[in-house]
Amino acid sequence: MSNQTQAIPLDTTASTPGRRRATYGLSDAVTGWLLSLPLTLVLLFFLVLPIVMIVIVSFWGATEFSIYPAFQFDNYEFLLTSPVTYSVFLNTIKYAVITWAITLVLGFTIAYFLAFHVRTLTWQIVLFLLCTIPFWTSNIIRMISWIPFLGRNGIANSTLMSMGVIDEPLEWLLFSDFSVILAFVHLYTLFMVVPIFNTMMRIDKSLIEAAYDNGATGLQTLTNVIIPLTKPGIMIGSIFVVTLVMGDFITVRFMSGSQKANVGRLISNDIALLQYPSAAATAVVLLVTVLIVIGILLRFVDIRKEL
């Protein structure tokens, strides 16, 4: 009886990816399309089609009692020739720019402190979660909570009067541009903190140490190392804040006492009056404006490195 065993040849190609694809009869391109099909359908039905419908309705006509399908530019002509439209858009841009500037300063400062001055990961997580506590309640509740604080007989005026700082209540604390911007900053600062903090955490600490070793001051390190490397996070946060502020309408309504207006309120008023074609035309103009702003922001940095 022979002690030698005969080697059995194995088919090593049977389990390769190319063999499996050949077995199922699917190419790489077809497999890729099938994998992306569910997300494509979701985006198509919940994003593309609604936008297309809004654009179509913006060309329709309307009377006091009905709307009718048509292809006319009356809505855009009325919108673009009305001085009220330009005033409202300028007011919207003013809110967006001021809120963006304040949230950028606050968001960068908070993110810088968490990323570079808090040494342990545990405390970074704890303090970051502490920043998110206000977001555990709804935007409306957090916004309305400012009204008893800023009112004529509210906590702020009562405290200032008791300290002798003022002799009579400050009227501009509530139902003004100040209260609107204050509410915007309160609501949307976290949208600036998160992307900036995420970007700062990816910065190699050895780069900062190298800057200090080469004689750079703290300000030089900030302006030449940290800020350039944080640009993607700043741009993402800026896009979030600007788009949210420009589309918001409920904050302006409550915090201004219906004395101020932005584009969102203009659309809301048209919908309340059942003037859907006019509201759709305003929404299209607002969408184009926001896309232009986003396009300008994306010219400064490639945020694909952050995604």
CATH number, domain with residue 214: 1.10.3720.10
Please, what is the average pLDDT of the chain? 85
Residues 120 and 234 in one domain: yes
Structural domain includes residue 157: yes
Q: Please determine, for residue 23, whether its predicted confidence score (pLDDT) is greater than 50.
A: no
Structural domain includes residue 12: no
Residues 236 and 169 in one domain: yes
Residues 40 and 182 in one domain: no
Q: In this predicted structure, what is the pLDDT of residue 305? A: 61
Residue reference for tokens 């855009």: 76
Residues 177 and 51 in one domain: no
Range of the domain at 206: 83-305
Domain count, the chain: 2
Residues 52 and 95 in one domain: no
Q: Which of 94, 111, 141, 92 is nearest to 237 (CA)?
A: 111
Q: In this predicted structure, what is the pLDDT of residue 66? A: 83
Residues 49 and 102 in one domain: no
Q: Across residues 111-124, what is the average pLDDT?
A: 88
Structural domain includes residue 185: yes
Are 234 and 108 within 8 A, CB to CB? yes
Q: Which of 296, 128, 87, 105 is nearest to 185 (CA)?
A: 105
Q: Band of the pLDDT at 96, cuts 50, 70, 90? A: very high
Structural domain includes residue 151: yes
Q: Across residues 266-289, what is the average pLDDT?
A: 92
How would you classify residue 25: left for phi > 0, otherwise alpha for psi between -120 and 50, otherwise beta?
left
User: What is the sign, positive or negative, of the torsion defined by CA atoms of 157, 160, 163, 166?
Assistant: negative
Structural domain includes residue 179: yes
Q: In this predicted structure, what is the pLDDT of residue 306? A: 56
Residues 52 and 153 in one domain: no
Residues 186 and 91 in one domain: yes
Residues 195 and 161 in one domain: yes
Taking the C-alpha atoms of residue 124 and residue 130, their distance in angstroms, rounded to an integer, is: 10
Here the tokens at position 65 are 């009692």
Q: Band of the pLDDT at 1, cuts 50, 70, 90? A: very low
| Predicted model pTM | 0.83
Structural domain includes residue 218: yes
Q: Across residues 201-206, what is the average pLDDT?
A: 88
Taking the C-alpha atoms of residue 76 and residue 79, their distance in angstroms, rounded to an integer, is: 5
Residues 38 and 124 in one domain: no
Structural domain includes residue 282: yes
Residues 140 and 30 in one domain: no
Residues 279 and 171 in one domain: yes
Residue reference for tokens 């040849």: 9
How many C-beta neighbours within 10 Å does residue 294 have? 15
Structural domain includes residue 300: yes
